[in-house]
Structures are given as C-alpha cells and as structure tokens.
Structure 1
Amino acid sequence: MWQIVDWDEELIQDENLKIDFLGVNFYQPAWVKGVDFIPDFTNGAITPHYFYQPYEIPGRRINPYRGLEIFPKAIYITLMNLKEHYNNIPVYISENGMGVENEERFLEHGIINDQYRIDFTKEHLVWVHQAIKEGSNCFSYNSWAYIDNCSWMNAYKNRYGFVQLDLTNNGKRVLKKSANFIAETAKTGVFEYESELI
C-alpha cells in the first residue's frame, strides 16, 4: 500500500531531525505477493521487484467509472502504521478522491448526481476518524479536488471535483450533489453513515 525505502526510514526515525508533517496521497492500495520464481541476480541490479509481484485480492471492489480499487480501510492501515512504527508523525491526507470518466451522464435537472463520490468520501472519512480515535496524529483530510481540474496524464478525461467545470460553456462552474455534502461536513464535522466498519 505504501512503501518507505531504507533511507526514508532512517530520516523519519531520527529524533534530532525535525519533521513538521507528512502528506499522504491515497487513492487505492497496492497488493503484492512473493515472486513465483527464483530471482536471477547475475546482472547485479537488485530491485524490490525481484522479491514481490502484483496481486489482485479476490472479490475486490472496483470503481466502475475509473478502474481503481476501492478499499477505504487501507487509509486507516496507513495512518496506524505511521502511528505504531514512525513515532506518530503529524500527517494529513493531502489527496484522496474518486475519478469518474464522462461524468455528464449523471446529470439530473442540471446537476451532476455524484452520490458515488459522497459514498466514497464518507467511507474514507470514517476510517480516518477511526484512526484518529485510536491515536493517529492525522490533522487534516483533503480531497482531490475541489473542482474538476486538468490532469497532466489525461487532461479532463476523469473528473474528481465537487464542482463541475463545464468546458463547453466558457468554464462555467456548477455545484455537484457532493458539493453540498462536503460543505455541510466541513462546517459541522458530522455526517450520517449507516454501515458498520468492516
């Protein structure tokens, strides 16, 4: 899910080094398993991929609009790992969000009904809150992004924002359904969530 190389670990654990905080960008987990073969070390170049390879969890949940895995508990696991193994460094979630291609298909009465984004955000916030309850030094959660924005990888193909940027109408900005949810949650710190933690 999240890899720290040896020299990163030494820096993080150095009590004389002042680290103000860490920013964690989280979208999906990365599962791995041991390699199915004996590595060939004859070329002298040893990389982590000699020891593991990608693994797909059976029954995993996939974002049907983007293809990324949805596993909100991984954000909790990451925060607890920082608490338990890296001196509980102050941390904030600097990016988290759900990308959707061709989001205009969910237009209802002039507003994009992105209930899927509300549900995604709620699930991740529940696990962030659980980590904080258990002592994580997480002090902020930031979604990617406030408004549909241009990605250096695929321009405006995937939309992430709580606010629609209408490129066909001089960049007109229209609040999506999720904008009201996130505004109220930011204001009150409260939202309804019916499911139990998995």
Structure 2
Amino acid sequence: MRRRSFLKAAAAAGLASVAGARPVPALAQAGTVTEFPKGFLWGCSTSSYQIEGAVTADGRGPSVWDTFSHAYGKVANGDTGDVACDHYNRYAEDVDLMARAGMRAYRFSVAWPRVQPAGAGAPNDKGLDFYDRLTDALLAKGIEPWPCLFHWDLPQALQDKGGWTNRDIAGWFADYAQIVAGRIGDRAKHWCMLNEPSVVAIFGHGLGVHAPGMTGKANYFKAIHHQNLAQGTALKALRAMGGGKGWQLGTVLSLQPVWPVGGLDANYESSLMWDAAWNRACLDPLMRGEYPELLRDGFAPLVKAGDLETIHQPIDFLGLNYYSRMHQQPDPGGLFGTGYGSAPEGTRRTGMEWPVEPDGLAEILSELQQEYGNPPVYVAENGADYPDSVGPQGKVEDGDRIRFIRDHLLFARKAIDEGANLKGWFVWTLLDNFEWAEGYRRHFGLVQVDRQTMTRTPKASYHWYADVIRKNGVPSV
C-alpha cells in the first residue's frame, strides 16, 4: 500500500494513537542469541566536525560550523568544535577502541575544508595526509573504511559564494570527491556522498538553527536541489573514475516515518507535507527520478534540463539514519505550515526528548522494500542521547542506551525476516562529541570523553555492543 493510502487509513482508524506501543519482538530464550545473517556488517559512525578538532592545523580552512558555533547564542553554552574529541591527534586510540569491540567498519566523514581550504582549487596535501593515516590505521586493525564526503562542515569560502544555494556547488563537490577518492580510493572501497541532506536544508537553510543559519522556503528548495544535483554529479564522476577499483557507491539519508498527531484526520495533510519535505525530497529524485508531487511547484524554477537524470543515479547501497518517527500537525508558523506534536501517550523518550519508536525503523525498511525496489541498506546511524551515571564499581552505566539499541536491532531483525535487504549496522556514535547546536551537553557515545583531559572511558553500552558483534546477534541477557 502506498504511504498516502496507508496514512489515510491509519488516521481514519486512529491507529497512530497506538503506533508507539507496538511490542518489541521477543528475545530468544535465556542464554541464546537472536542472530543476524552471516556476514552482517557491524560498525560505528562519526563526523569530522563533531570529533576531529584541530580546526586550524595543517592548513585546514574554516567551515560554516566554525563560523556558526563562534557566533553568540547559536550553540548551547557557547560550545564549539575547536577541540571536539581531539580525534585528529588521537585517532589511533579511537581506532583501537573500535578494534577492541570487534567492529568491522567505520563510517567517518572527510572535512572538505581540511582537503580544500578554499573549497575549490588545489588540494591541501597535509589535510589529505590525515585521511591517509586514518585509512591505514583502520585497515591495520581489520576495519573497513567507509568515507562520507560531506557531513555538514561546508568550507566557509564556498558559503561566501552562496554555498548550497549556488548551483555551481555541484561541480565543486564532484571535483572535491575525485580528489579524496584519488588519494585513498586504492584502499577505501565504500563511499557515501552526503549525510542527511534534508537536515542540512531544513535546519540550516529553512529554519536557521544549524549552520549556515539561513531561513525561508526558497533557501530550503535551493539547498535540497543543489545537494541532490551535487550527489548525482559526484556519483557519475566517481563511477567513471572507479572502473575496476571495486568501489561501492551510495549516500546517507535520514528517513523518519511521519504520522498525524493522535491519528486525527485534521493532522493527516500535515503529515504528508512534512513527509514530502523531510523524506521524499531526497529519496524520490534519487530512486525514482522525480520530486514528490506536493513540492514540485517549489522545485520547478530550479530544475533544468537533465537535472533529474543526473540526480537519478544507480547506487550500490543506501545508508539509512533512523532515530524516531515524527508526529505532525498544522502550524501556520511552520516552514511548510506544519509543526511537531506529541507522540502517542506512554511513548518513552530519550534525553533529548525524542520519542523512542523502534518499530518505525521496521516501517521504513518495509517501505524501502515494497516501494523503492528493496535496495541494499545499511543503518548508518542509530543511537540515543541519555545522561550517563557512574555505578558503584566505577563503571559508566547507560542501560537506557543499551535498551534503545537492542530494541531497534530486534525490529531490524524482524524486518530482515520479512524480506528487507538490510546488510549492516553502524551505531551512532563511538564517542561523546560535539552535538551541533546542543554542544557537549548531549551524550550519544559508546565511549565517554572527559572534556578536560580527553580521556576515553568505554561505557556499559560499548561492552554490550562488543558482545553483539562477537555473537553476531542480540543476546537474551
């Protein structure tokens, strides 16, 4: 059933009011494991600005997040990514943490301003050297490098030329992609183009709460279309460049099911509109070669001949970031006349007040299976912010995080049983890091980072995830 019909039926039946109460699939009997398919890939994800620090080291230029975080009042507590987790200097320690947990893959992002400080032109060899060292360190520990070419830290030099609102960025991005692939593509075989382009467009260009702090629907449409175009242009360029290299090319989208608040008919159209703006504006042109009907008029002035053919590129895999559903209702002040409302009563929440709805992951996987040709999918991000506590034995206890990841894994396994083409899982994230506008007050990591000393302390969730990897499944105890 197509999503419009499905949501309409759900709203009419009031099913959304109980959507968050769907029981978690049962674990196997005590002492056993709910196993994943042989060869299932286990790893973690991070992003450059959130962990690297060293923002002026070795010729790195400023990014939009450097500018944004240093502007008064933009980030909680005035936090910045200047030091972050000092991963630039401590990467070997962090790779060792992954290896000790048994992780087999690491999705990291490459900092465009570290590679091209001016955003275009000659590359910065010292910046590329860092990713050389990181790639070699990963391979030495048996960990597959999965570079992501853009995770939000656009060079400020390009923003000064309009950034994602400038159509020329498609060519700039493709040139940058070829530079990075030319340096580490002899060893890195899995390539992600973008991370969450809809979030960049909505929060960074529509609502102004993320870098670069732009607002308005016109900027949203430009940022979406030009990211889609850049992604397609880079995919074509890397595919032409990578013949015989065995590269797997894909991208990473945030896909969150959108439900009408309370299952009410009055909220149904709002749910469809936000679904189009958040999910379909990136997914449909990539997978179907068209923009969602509800937004076509907004994109029409931007789409030139051949654009949709360029965007509609074949991919070898789709990265899926999932955290929760989104519950929408009318809001005249919203970017598209919609706004967030409450999840069903009784729904658990994370430390950031995000609803905990692991069955929404199965919903997305099912839709990719039924409506988008069942592409190979990797969960590229899944995790949660919770306050950590130190237990009586001096260990960092984070049982809520374990429960969150466990429940999502169980729904993922159920989706696989029902035919979903899910190939791997990347936890978000390895380290407590700079959480964008939330600064350092949020904790998503499997490993705690002391903000004064940078000491890494694995949490209970780190050891639990290592056990999941070792057993290739979710243990019952």
TM range (shorter): 0.7 to 0.9
* Structure 2, gaps ≥5 residues long: 1-255, 258-274, 290-311
Between 181-190 and 69-78, report the one with greater CA deviation.
181-190
Q: Which amino acid aligns with 1:13?
A: R
What's the counterpart of residue 150 of structure 1? 434
| Structure 2 Cα separation of the partners of residues 92 and 183 of structure 1 | 18
What's the counterpart of residue 404 of structure 2? 120
- Measured on the aligned residues, the alpha-carbon RMSD in Å equals 2.6
Tell me the secondary structure at the aligned position of residue 164 of structure 1. Answer: strand
What's the counterpart of residue 344 of structure 2? 58
Tell me the secondary structure at the aligned position of residue 180 of structure 1. Answer: helix
What's the counterpart of residue 460 of structure 2? 177
Deviation at residue 54 of structure 1 after TM alignment: 3.6
> How many residues were matched structurally?
179
Q: Is the CA contact (8 Å cut-off) linking 1:122 and 1:193 kept in structure 2?
A: no
What's the counterpart of residue 140 of structure 1? 424
Alignment partner of 1:97 is 2:393:
no
Distance of aligned partners of 1:175 and 1:86 in 2 relative to their CA distance in 1, 3 Å threshold? same
Deviation at residue 162 of structure 1 after TM alignment: 1.1
Cα deviations across residues 68-90 of structure 1 (Å, max 9, x unaligned)? 10010000000100000000011
1:33-48 equivalences in 2 (<5 Å): 33=329, 35=330
Alignment partner of 1:26 is 2:301:
no
* Structure 1, gaps ≥5 residues long: 40-46
What's the counterpart of residue 5 of structure 2? none
| Structure 1 Cα separation of the partners of residues 335 and 379 of structure 2 | 26
Deviation at residue 25 of structure 1 after TM alignment: 1.2
Alignment partner of 1:70 is 2:356:
yes
Cα deviations across residues 10-65 of structure 1 (Å, max 9, x unaligned)? 43136x841222111111110235x49xx9xxxxxxx9835x55442331423252
Between 109-118 and 4-13, report the one with greater CA deviation.
4-13
What's the counterpart of residue 42 of structure 1? none
| Structure 1 Cα separation of the partners of residues 471 and 319 of structure 2 | 24
Q: Is the CA contact (8 Å cut-off) linking 1:148 and 1:161 kept in structure 2?
A: yes
Between 120-129 and 148-157, report the one with greater CA deviation.
148-157
| Structure 2 Cα separation of the partners of residues 160 and 87 of structure 1 | 32
Q: Which amino acid aligns with 1:80?
A: S
Distance of aligned partners of 1:165 and 1:82 in 2 relative to their CA distance in 1, 3 Å threshold? same
Distance of aligned partners of 1:87 and 1:161 in 2 relative to their CA distance in 1, 3 Å threshold? same
Distance of aligned partners of 1:31 and 1:182 in 2 relative to their CA distance in 1, 3 Å threshold? same
Distance of aligned partners of 1:53 and 1:158 in 2 relative to their CA distance in 1, 3 Å threshold? closer
Larger radius of gyration: 2
Alignment partner of 1:49 is 2:336:
yes
What's the counterpart of residue 166 of structure 1? 450
Between 148-157 and 81-90, report the one with greater CA deviation.
148-157
Alignment partner of 1:83 is 2:369:
yes
Distance of aligned partners of 1:84 and 1:162 in 2 relative to their CA distance in 1, 3 Å threshold? same
TM-score by length of 2: 0.35
What's the counterpart of residue 43 of structure 1? none
What's the counterpart of residue 11 of structure 1? 286
Deviation at residue 147 of structure 1 after TM alignment: 1.5
Tell me the secondary structure at the aligned position of residue 336 of structure 2. Answer: helix
Tell me the secondary structure at the aligned position of residue 97 of structure 1. Answer: coil
Distance of aligned partners of 1:111 and 1:5 in 2 relative to their CA distance in 1, 3 Å threshold? same
Distance of aligned partners of 1:193 and 1:30 in 2 relative to their CA distance in 1, 3 Å threshold? farther
